[in-house]
């Protein structure tokens, strides 16, 4: 059994990790930290876990994290890099759901996250945790930087096109929407029901910190310089993410061949569903699952391909993807504990 610790178990990604790992057949939950909730039974805070998780939260100084096999960080940016050196020295693997180990460019990290990187030497060996595009590196890694939710949709939506070299890589557009849970579990006026409900808005239009991450990773897929216009939006729902991606075709290709390109790219991927050409995937078709769905459109059979991508931002966009990485790192089938059917309605 894999002994698992979770640092930051009281947020949405933390409880999502608990939900998934509580029924994982190869996992023993060993420690769940929260300085504020030290001693509180997990099931008292999250009644959905009654009868599944019998641990109590413990403060970080009491949690025996160095006795775990792997520690997930479901924490704000900056926490994982402060604790990773000690854990790695003890032979513990680290999976960070924040941004500490996503970017290889230290200057870009420090610019966008407004903090110095405390262990750039570890950053160099960190594997980027998008399994479908970086499987072998993750399999061998001691430390994984779990991708951001928006970057997951943009990369998987664009990868087949960029690898084939059939689009203008310098003029990509991603129009993305996320549910309110993407902002985390915190008291903030903009996230109040009466503020976010019955409302729709863009944010981060002049620059969003998922942009440099996405650019860095997309550049690995193309010999041409990547140019990306990315606009995120907040929609009045709890879970779900929908990205509409636009790219200009530079090669003559018919719709059947375009569809075949995506079907071939993801034919062996358990968590990527390429839907029939012209489909309209809905966020609810992935709710509470690790599935990501893609559909292609080509308005008026012109030179623009439109890629629709949906996922649950807390699962494939965060905690489910992290567990997928853990499975690989410990030699398990990557689908282990993750074959949840989406919740409908």
> What CA–CA distance (Å, rounded) separates 155 from 70?
26
**Encoded tokens for 17:** 């990790």
Nearest of 282, 184, 180 to residue 234 by alpha carbon: 180
DSSP 201-256: EE--TT--THHHHHHHHHHTT-SSPP-EEEEEEE-SSSS-EEEEEEEEB-S---HH
Nearest of 85, 72, 87 to residue 33 by alpha carbon: 72
List, in order, residues 6 or more apart from 69 with CB less than 8 Å away. 2, 3, 4, 92, 93, 330
Bond preceding residue 69 cis, omega within 30 of 0: no
> What CA–CA distance (Å, rounded) separates 225 from 159?
14
User: Which residue numbers are catalytic?
Assistant: 149
> What CA–CA distance (Å, rounded) separates 106 from 172?
25
What strands lie across the sheet with 241-248, from one edge to the other?
201-202, 228-234, 172-178, 241-248, 304-311, 292-297, 272-274
> What CA–CA distance (Å, rounded) separates 118 from 339?
37
**Encoded tokens for 197:** 């409900």
Residues in the chain: 345
SS (H, E, C) 128-143: ECCHHHHHHHHHCCCE
């Amino acid at each position: 059994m894999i002994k698992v610790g979770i640092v930051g178990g009281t947020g949405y990604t933390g409880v999502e990790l608990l939900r998934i790992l509580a029924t994982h057949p190869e996992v023993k939950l060993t420690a769940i930290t929260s300085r504020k909730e030290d001693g509180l039974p997990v099931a008292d805070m999250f009644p959905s876990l009654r009868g599944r998780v019998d641990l109590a939260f413990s403060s970080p100084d009491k949690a025996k994290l160095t006795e775990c096999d792997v520690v997930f960080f479901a924490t704000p940016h900056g926490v994982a890099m402060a604790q990773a050196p000690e854990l790695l020295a003890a032979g513990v693997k680290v999976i960070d759901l924040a941004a500490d180990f996503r970017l290889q460019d230290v200057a870009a990290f420090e610019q966008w996250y407004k903090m110095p990187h405390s262990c750039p030497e570890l950053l160099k060996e960190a594997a980027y945790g998008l399994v479908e595009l970086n499987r072998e590196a993750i399999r061998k890694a001691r430390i994984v930087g779990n991708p951001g939710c928006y970057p997951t949709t943009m990369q998987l939506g664009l990868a087949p096109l960029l690898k084939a070299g059939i689009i203008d890589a310098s003029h990509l557009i991603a129009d993305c929407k996320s549910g309110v849970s993407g902002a985390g579990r915190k008291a903030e006026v903009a996230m109040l029901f009466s503020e976010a409900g019955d409302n729709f808005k863009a944010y981060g239009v002049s620059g969003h910190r998922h942009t440099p991450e996405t650019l860095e990773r997309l550049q690995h897929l193309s010999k041409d310089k990547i140019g990306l216009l990315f606009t995120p939006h907040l929609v009045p729902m709890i879970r779900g993410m929908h990205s509409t991606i636009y790219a200009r075709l530079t090669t003559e290709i018919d719709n059947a061949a375009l569809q075949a390109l995506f079907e071939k790219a993801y034919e062996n991927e358990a968590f990527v569903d390429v839907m029939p050409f012209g489909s309209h995937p809905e966020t609810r078709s992935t709710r509470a699952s690790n599935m990501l769905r893609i559909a292609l459109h080509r308005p008026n059979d012109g030179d623009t391909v439109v890629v629709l991508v949906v996922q649950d931002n807390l699962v494939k966009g965060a905690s489910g993807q992290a567990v997928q990485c853990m499975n690989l790192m410990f030699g398990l089938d990557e689908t282990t504990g993750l074959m949840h059917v989406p919740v409908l309605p």
